Amino acid sequence: MRFFVNYRIVMQLHIQQLNITVPNQEKPLLSIPDFQLNSGEHLAILGPSGSGKTTLLNAITGLIPVSPNQVLWDNTDIHQLSASQCDNWRFAHIGLIMQNFHLTTGLTALENVLLPYSFRHWTIPTAVKQRAYALLEKMDFLAPDRLVESLSRGEMQRVAIARALLSKPKVIIADEPTASLDQKNGQIITALLKDLATQEKCSLLVATHDLRLADSLALRIYLQDGQIQYKDD
């Protein structure tokens, strides 16, 4: 008999009748009748440029508005939350790694990792700082005191990943995490993301053009003109 549920690994995404349109455009940007991703699953979202990958990530993280009941995370309709509630929900549950990293210049790598946490808390507990150091170290990034503007793109990507993982999210979402990295760094980042997601028992959703990255994940969907053309697992 099971008495305990590990809440951290329960985070199911359910998309139903998702339809995103823009004024004066006949075709929807995104049209997904039904899609489900279970907790802990690793998904690649493929598709040509303009097929809707980023729009999908924005929709499921509440970064763009969506009609009620179209995106549910464990039966929570994040699009029915207020803007600040949605921000807090995202901070608590999602580790977001955006295309251009969105790091803050003038701050060190460590300060960048801690920044989202420091926005929400008066003080940063030692345990949180230790986790920030540990995440950077796990990724072989051994210069936490370097200013981010002096880092290479591969190093910036590691800082962005550590920042996304600091709050122990249940879901990691990455938009083109290997774009503009050379092959070696792309492979390193791919392996890191997968290993960290597995170790931390997170779901992983990655929008990518990188077939090597996509092949390394267990599930794939292919978008074309805002629709899922095929699923592959």
Give me the residues that bind ligand ATP (CB under 6 A), please. Answer: 22, 29, 47, 49-55
Collapsing DSSP states into helix, strand and coil, what is residue 36? strand
Considering the complex, what minimum distance in angstroms separates the CB of residue 88 from ligand ATP? 24
Minimum CB distance to ligand ATP smaller for 200 or for 210: 210
Minimum CB distance to ligand ATP smaller for 110 or for 172: 172
Structural contact between residues 203 and 13, judged by C-beta atoms closer than 8 angstroms: yes
Considering the complex, what minimum distance in angstroms separates the CB of residue 51 from ligand ATP? 4
Considering the complex, what minimum distance in angstroms separates the CB of residue 54 from ligand ATP? 3
Per the DSSP assignment, residues forming a β-bridge with 205 are: 43, 173
Considering the complex, what minimum distance in angstroms separates the CB of residue 47 from ligand ATP? 5
Structural contact between residues 157 and 189, judged by C-beta atoms closer than 8 angstroms: yes
Considering the complex, what minimum distance in angstroms separates the CB of residue 11 from ligand ATP? 23
Minimum CB distance to ligand ATP smaller for 40 or for 186: 186
Q: Where are the alpha helices (DSSP H) in 81-152?
A: 83-93, 109-120, 126-138
**Alpha-carbon 169 to chain mean position:** 9
Which two three-digit tokens encode residue 118? 């420091």
Minimum CB distance to ligand ATP smaller for 33 or for 48: 48
Minimum CB distance to ligand ATP smaller for 1 or for 22: 22
Q: How far apart are CA 175 and CA 177, in angstroms?
A: 6
Q: How far apart are CA 131 and CA 136, in angstroms?
A: 9
